[in-house]
Amino acid sequence: MTRKWLQSADVDIDEAGALLVRTAAAPATLPAVINYSTSGDKTVIAAVAGKRIVVTGGLIVCGAAVTLTFKSGSTAITGPMTFAAGGGFGRDARPDSYLFRTEAGQALILNLSADAAVGGCLTYYLE
């Protein structure tokens, strides 16, 4: 038996009783580079009219102690995340879930609480 995860599917039973499954393709993902060294709000992904930015995975490493907060425009969409020098996080991109998303038409902002080298990348799609 082979098992597969179906993110989204339409399931029907035909006249003969056979199970018919139509799956939706996973959205195409895009990369976003993170490379900042000064405190304040940084636009990671520019706003797209009528679209949400959906972050599915990523990797961030901090060169110095810093607190990071992701925002949808000016509204926080994560709590403050405090990292020591050399700290960070990573998560594989997953088509079945997301880390966070912006409101439609809002940019994805990363706030750095202090001057610190912060690098990495995010994987996202627009919906």
Tell me: domain 27-126, CATH 3.90.1010.10, correct? Answer: no
Q: What is the pLDDT of residue 80?
A: 98
Helices (H) and strands (E) in the chain, counts: 0, 12
Question: Domain boundaries in the chain?
Answer: 27-126
Contact 100, 52 (CB under 8 A): no
Q: Each residue of 1-35: pLDDT tens digit?
A: 555 555 555 666 767 777 666 566 678 899 999 99
Does the model's pTM come out above 0.85? no
Contact 20, 4 (CB under 8 A): no
Instruction: Please tell me what DSSP assigns to residue 115.
Output: S
**Which are the contacts of 118, defined by CB distance < 8 A and separation ≥ 6?**
34, 35, 36, 37, 60, 61, 62, 63, 66, 68, 110, 112
